[in-house]
Structure 1
Amino acid sequence: MAAGPPPSAAPLLLLLAALLLARPPPSLQQAISAADLAALLAVKGSLTDLPGASFFSTWDFAAPDPCSSFAGLTCSLSGRVAVLSLGAGGLSGSPGLAGSLSPSLARLTGLTQLILSPGIVTGPIPPELGRLPELRVLSLTNNRLTGPIPASLAALRGLHTLDLSYNQLAGPIPPRLPALPGLKVLILASNRLFGRVPPVSAALLHLDLRKNLLFGQVPPLPPTLRYLSLSGNAMWGPLSGLASLSELVYLDLSMNRFGGPIPPSLFSTPSLQSMLLQRNNLSGGVPAAGAASDPPSYGPGSVVDLSHNALAGELSTALIGVETLYLNNNRLTGSVPKEYVKSVLQGRTRTLYLQHNYISGFPWDRGMAVPDAAEVCLSYNCMAPPVGLEGCPASAGTQPSRPASQCSAFRGGENPRD
């Protein structure tokens, strides 16, 4: 009888067997297509590693199997390039690439993902990319791409994610691009785009257009949207269209020209953890939280910034438990509800800025102490800050309270300057 392998060799044999089973059968393994290899040669000819990078060091066109040896490359079983990740090749901290994007990328017609890592790649986005029928992810972020967003990208009917953020792209957003039926993530932040925001896809979950030159009103948005950032533009109009966004987690419309009241439903959205509406022209007040079956559960990491608007009236309890709460530089009046003091003392609220309002009362008893990790500012209101609450950031100014003439004029219905 033949002897079996020694016990020490058994784990190695099992590992080899597992590796052999994980590999596709030889009949399914095909060499990379000649057309894709020629396209990759053109792509490499238009790009170069920045000093300290070594992405292209593995791109040896004499290699027998580029699909397994080229960094950033994944091929399908048919030998077509399916994923092309240019630049880092999975290495964190790589300085990336320089050069430009070759129109030959469009010859890789099996591409499902095209990703460009941060670097200093310049020039336009090739309009030919609109001829990639299988493309689902196009991410060309953190480079120096210029020119317009090609309108041809609207032909990518299967596109799921488009990220062109942090470049120098200019011009309007192509009108049909945001409305692609399967588009779920659209990130065009930090460019030089201008004009109005076109209609968006009913499937969209994530929309980030911050830090551009966009104007006009917020377009109709799908109720399933979870992330919305339009900050740092020149947009205007009411926020009434946000009332139906019941699944929002993150909202940033700061530093625009939006006016009118804040929709009460935003104070009753259970999922909303960040609401940044500062530096607009918003009016009305902070409405009470609605009678939702599942009220907001503000907790660690929650941020609400409504500062530098024209919000008036008494503060409701809708924002109890927010960890970082900015309500400064508005026209709030009356006494602050005691629940806010309790939230600070319990350590739930770590930042409470109420300075530069017309508040007349804060239920703070002598002997109370602000927790070490918390910060409360009440300066320049219609009251002297209670003992122990005199510390404020330098931006709050040095005057502890408003002149009495301002407070009496405000109560009398006049509109004094802040």
Structure 2
Amino acid sequence: MKSHLFLHNLCLLFMLSLLLLLILPQLISFSSASSNSNTKSPSCLHNQSSALLQFKASFTIDVSYALTPFSKLWSWKANTDCCTSWDGVTCDDFGFVIGLNVSDSGIVGNINSNNTLFNLYHLQNLNLAFNDFNSSSIPAAFSHLRRLTHLNLSAASFSGQIPLEITQLKRLVSLDLSFLHLEVSSPNTLRALISNFSSMKELHMDSMDLTIGPAEDWFRAIGSAELHNLQNAFTGPLPSLESPSKTFRWLDLSFNRFTGSIPASYANNRLLRALKLSNNLLTGTVPSSLFNLLFLETILLDGNHLTGELHDDEISPISSSPLYEINLNQNRLGGPIPPSLFKFPNLQLLNLGSNSFHGVLDPHVFVSNITSIDLSNNTMLSIDPSDIAINVSQLSNFYFSNCNLSKIPGFFRYQEKLKNLHLSNNHLQGKMPEWIWNVVENLDLSSNSLVEFEDPLSDHSLSTLNTLFLSNNNFEGPIPMLPSSLTYVSLANNKFSGTIPPTICNTSCDYINLSGNDLSETIPPCLVNMSSLLVLDLSKNRLQGNIPDNFGDQCGMARIFFGGNQLEGPLPRSLANCTYMEVIDLGNNQISDIFPFWLEDLEELQALMLRSNRLHGTIRHHRRLNNSSFPKLHIVDLSSNKFTGQLPMEYLRTSKVMTMNTKDDTHQVINSSYNEDYKFSLMVPNKGQELDYVVDLISILNVLDLSSNQFEGEIPELVGEFKSLAALNFSHNNLIGEIPSSLGNLKHLQSLDLSNNDLVGEIPSELASLTFLSVFNVSLNHLVGRIPSGTQFDTFSRNSFQGNLGLCGSQLQIQCNPKTRDDAPTSEKPPSSIENSSSDFDWRFALAGCGSGIIIGVVIEHFILTKNMYYLAKVLAMERFINESYRQRARRRRWRN
């Protein structure tokens, strides 16, 4: 029996050994493959790439409205590996797609539950934000993606109801439905929806319509998530953080209209890590206990109406405090700034600007780990100017504009990491210290009373200065030698005299502004040949001679301002080399030449200002009849020259911008190749007066000024095709014939001046429909008949119509014959000498339509400087959301009608 058992065990052992020999090579091969899989990227499975390619094919790609002119889907190509070669695609080790980020990719079209996107069952992270799904409903098929943990549909043009099927995504940790036109009828509906997301940690619902019912009810409905972003135009008091909302960690209630004080429950919530209440209408004081919360990292209370003082003895920084950012900007806080605010060990960003803090700060309070301090716009706040040798080890940015400094504090010279120092709009006097050239990278001392530079100025070889703003001071004498490291320099509106030093050409500047000084002699030829230069402003000096004609073949200039000098000679032909040119201002000089036809191929040119020179000849097509001359030109000022012949309307109609229907279309065409935060002046003549207006963005004005020349003939009917014009001036010419009724098509027109010509006939009744018209002048012509009434025309003074023997109406206090409109007036002859109207065209009306664009520009500038691109994207999404709201309302109105 035992021998049989022994033989059985022996056979079993033999069989196991044989089996091991057979499978050992496979085990080794599998082990090797597994090892290689850790070092090589996975290969995309065919069904995954096929589903993605079908997803791509179901939409059109249009990046013209994208935040960036790029689509991730452009890299998706057949016969390439979706896991390794396709942008926005992430795979697991087995070739399944687990992450898909196609945000801001110009996707346009409807998406439904049959889309192959919903066949990617392994997806864990899906981002469709910032695309255009044509206001389609959120597909219920999202419920098929059961493994999803992160879903971002923000600003993707979804609308309608939130499908209940989406609650089957039990693993969902983060959900972003911001900037969507979704319907949520009540807090109870939302509570029923959100309660099923047991794993939810982050919930973003910015700009959803949650205004039905108190904010407190909505707050409780979504109280399970730890992070809340709720920018929803809420009103009333802030909701409490009392139970049942015990799990709060991050709370963002910015950009609402909450009123009242900050509840005590906020300052008592020990779990809170971020509190963002920016841009509300909050009043009362800042609870000091907020600064003492053990886990709080961020306090953003900027843009409210908070008052009172911050008391030093109530703020007690502890060594373990994680507080990283404090922003109390734009409130009404006062008193001295408590030194304890600077003592939080991990504090990096402190912004107390635009309040009413006062006193003199001891530089020792800045000794901390803070990298950025903004105390600007506290007009009674100052810093001890003594030369105190202390080093704030991490200080990189210091903003102290519009305060009460009379001298540059000496402690700045010891800051080794200081990059940005802004002390503009203070009361600085005397000399600019020599040491400051070698301390910072970006320096703004503009709008002070500095008069000279401290010697010596000969050696700037160690300077790292990149940006220099010294405009609006009282500097005198020659322009000093500037560091070669400079890329942006503004010395505008001082008293610099002498010549422009050729050494300025040794810099790498892309922006040079020397306007508003007393500079003389000629423009250095090297200046217009600088390869790096984008903007050159030499206006309002006493420069003489010819404009250098050596703009290089690789000219990259975008804007030149040479107006208000004594320049003469011909226009430089080499300007045609500057293919990126957007603005040319050579007005108010003594230039003698013909119209610059050679510039008509500059596709980016938007403003051409040649007023008050000695230009002459006719303006007409000189090469071919239907060429696309000046396609983006929309500011043309040729006034006060000696041009002759017919009005060049046929020639200028090739500008796509001036003939567009609306100003909104103008913005779609114009895409400036150089975005900057400076302003430039535009001289606009108005009935004998020269009005100088400061304009932020050239794309907001559409102006055609051909006044004070020798044009003759009739005003052509095609003038009515220039539909986007805001101002049109044909005055002081030799025009004849009748005023064309097609002028009534210029629905955006706000100023129309046809005075001092030889026009006949009646004032067309179509002009009465121009509801934006605020300035109108047809004086000193030969017009007859009744002046239109009952509209804007009732607001125009008699000066707008005098000097026309046959006009009648209440504006002239001349009665008309009731029988026919053409009858001559019954009394009063016009005086022989008529003064031009004193009514000025208020360009604030012309700028009214661009308010939101300027705000967004300022916001963009701020976020670019602070590198907070997440909030930049949110602001741009909000603008897009608002525009979409208007479009939907318009569609609903059309449907009702």
What's the TM-score once normalised by structure 2's chain length?
Answer: 0.34
Gap change, CA 1:126 and 1:69, over 3 Å in 2: closer
> Residues 337-352 of structure 1 correspond to what in structure 2 (within 5 A)?
337-338=620-621, 348-352=632-636
In structure 2, what is the equivalent of residue 85 of structure 1?
A: 373
Deviations 1:88-115 (A, max 9, x none): 5xxxxx6565234433664125355352
In structure 2, what is the equivalent of residue 168 of structure 1?
A: 449
How far apart, CA to CA, are the structure 1 residues paired with 2:445 and 2:617? 47
> Does the 8 Å contact 1:101/1:123 carry over to 2?
no
2:637 is the counterpart of 1:358: no
Q: Quick check: which has more Rg, 1 or 2? A: 2
Gap change, CA 1:68 and 1:270, over 3 Å in 2: same
2:490 is the counterpart of 1:195: no
2:546 is the counterpart of 1:261: yes
Classify the secondary structure of the residue corresponding to 2:408. Answer: coil
2:709 is the counterpart of 1:381: yes
The structure 2 residue matched to 1:304, chosen from 579, 584, 596, is 584
Q: CA RMSD in A?
A: 4.4
In structure 1, what is the equivalent of residue 467 of structure 2?
A: 185
Give the C-alpha shift of residue 283 in structure 1: 1.1
In structure 2, what is the equivalent of residue 116 of structure 1?
A: 399
Q: Which runs of 5+ in 2 are unaligned?
A: 1-169, 172-197, 203-225, 228-249, 251-328, 353-366, 664-701, 720-727, 732-750, 759-897
How far apart, CA to CA, are the structure 2 residues paired with 1:101 and 1:189? 25
In structure 1, what is the equivalent of residue 515 of structure 2?
A: 231
2:436 is the counterpart of 1:98: no
Classify the secondary structure of the residue corresponding to 1:383. Answer: strand
Q: Which is worse superposed, 145-154 or 206-215?
A: 145-154
Residues matched between the structures, number = 349
Classify the secondary structure of the residue corresponding to 2:526. Answer: helix
In structure 2, what is the equivalent of residue 132 of structure 1?
A: 415
The structure 1 residue matched to 2:425, chosen from 107, 126, 142, is 142
In structure 1, what is the equivalent of residue 888 of structure 2?
A: none
The structure 1 residue matched to 2:499, chosen from 210, 214, 217, is 217
Classify the secondary structure of the residue corresponding to 2:616. Answer: strand
How far apart, CA to CA, are the structure 2 residues paired with 1:56 and 1:9? 46
The structure 2 residue matched to 1:391, chosen from 729, 750, 753, is 729
Gap change, CA 1:98 and 1:277, over 3 Å in 2: same
In structure 2, what is the equivalent of residue 415 of structure 1?
A: none
2:571 is the counterpart of 1:283: no
- The letter of the residue matching 2:332 is G
> Does the 8 Å contact 2:433/2:453 carry over to 1?
no
How far apart, CA to CA, are the structure 2 residues paired with 1:192 and 1:96? 21
Gap change, CA 1:378 and 1:56, over 3 Å in 2: same
> Does the 8 Å contact 1:123/1:147 carry over to 2?
no
Give the C-alpha shift of residue 345 in structure 1: 8.5
Deviations 1:166-200 (A, max 9, x none): 22222247525866532221111111111211112
Gap change, CA 1:366 and 1:305, over 3 Å in 2: closer
What's the TM-score once normalised by structure 1's chain length?
Answer: 0.68
Give the C-alpha shift of residue 326 in structure 1: 0.7
> Does the 8 Å contact 1:127/1:151 carry over to 2?
no
- The letter of the residue matching 1:68 is L
Gap change, CA 1:193 and 1:64, over 3 Å in 2: closer
The structure 2 residue matched to 1:329, chosen from 606, 612, 617, is 612
Give the C-alpha shift of residue 310 in structure 1: 0.7
Gap change, CA 1:69 and 1:126, over 3 Å in 2: closer
In structure 1, what is the equivalent of residue 109 of structure 2?
A: none
In structure 2, what is the equivalent of residue 3 of structure 1?
A: none
Classify the secondary structure of the residue corresponding to 1:103. Answer: coil
Gap change, CA 1:232 and 1:82, over 3 Å in 2: same
Q: Which is worse superposed, 240-249 or 133-142?
A: 133-142
- The letter of the residue matching 1:355 is S
How far apart, CA to CA, are the structure 2 residues paired with 1:342 and 1:213? 49
Classify the secondary structure of the residue corresponding to 2:643. Answer: strand
Counting helix residues as a fraction of each chain, which structure ranks higher? Answer: 2
Q: Which is worse superposed, 282-291 or 198-207?
A: 282-291
Q: Which runs of 5+ in 1 are unaligned?
A: 1-5, 20-48, 74-78, 89-93, 402-418
Gap change, CA 1:179 and 1:236, over 3 Å in 2: farther
Gap change, CA 1:286 and 1:366, over 3 Å in 2: closer
Higher relative contact order (CA 8 A, sep 6+): 1
- The letter of the residue matching 1:315 is F
- The letter of the residue matching 1:121 is N
2:350 is the counterpart of 1:71: yes
- The letter of the residue matching 1:358 is K
Gap change, CA 1:266 and 1:56, over 3 Å in 2: farther
- The letter of the residue matching 2:344 is D
Gap change, CA 1:252 and 1:243, over 3 Å in 2: closer
